[in-house]
Structure 1
Amino acid sequence: MTTQTLSPSGGTRHAVTPMRRLTSSDLLKGNREIIIEHAGGEYRLRLTSQGKLILTK
C-alpha cells in the first residue's frame, strides 16, 4: 500500500518505502562463501581475505 500526497507543484507523489538493508555478516553467517539462487541461476558471494565481496555467476 502506498500513500499519496500532493507535491508543491500540485501533482500526486507516492511515498517511498525504505529499502531493505542487510549486513554481509547477516548473509554469510560466519561462512566465507554462499550460493545465491536467482532466476534459475546460481551466484557465489565470496568474502576475500582482504574483507572485500566478490559476486560471480
Structure 2
Amino acid sequence: MNQPNLLELAKQGDAKAIATLMNRKLQPKGITAKASMKNDCLQIMLESAQVPPKKH
C-alpha cells in the first residue's frame, strides 16, 4: 500500500491503516500498536517487552 492511499485510509478511520502508520514510528522503539474498531470507537493497544522510561 503506498503512502498517499495509507494516509487517506487512516483519515477515513481505517484501523489497520492507523496501526500501520503508528507502527512505522513506534516499532524502532520496540513498541507495537494494534488498532480495532468496536462500537464506533477506535481502540488502540500498545505492546512492548519493556516499559519505556518516563520523561519528567
TM-score with structure 1 setting the length: 0.36
The structure that has the greater radius of gyration is 1
Instruction: Name which structure has the greater RCO, CA cutoff 8 Å, separation 6+.
Output: 2
TM-score with structure 2 setting the length: 0.37
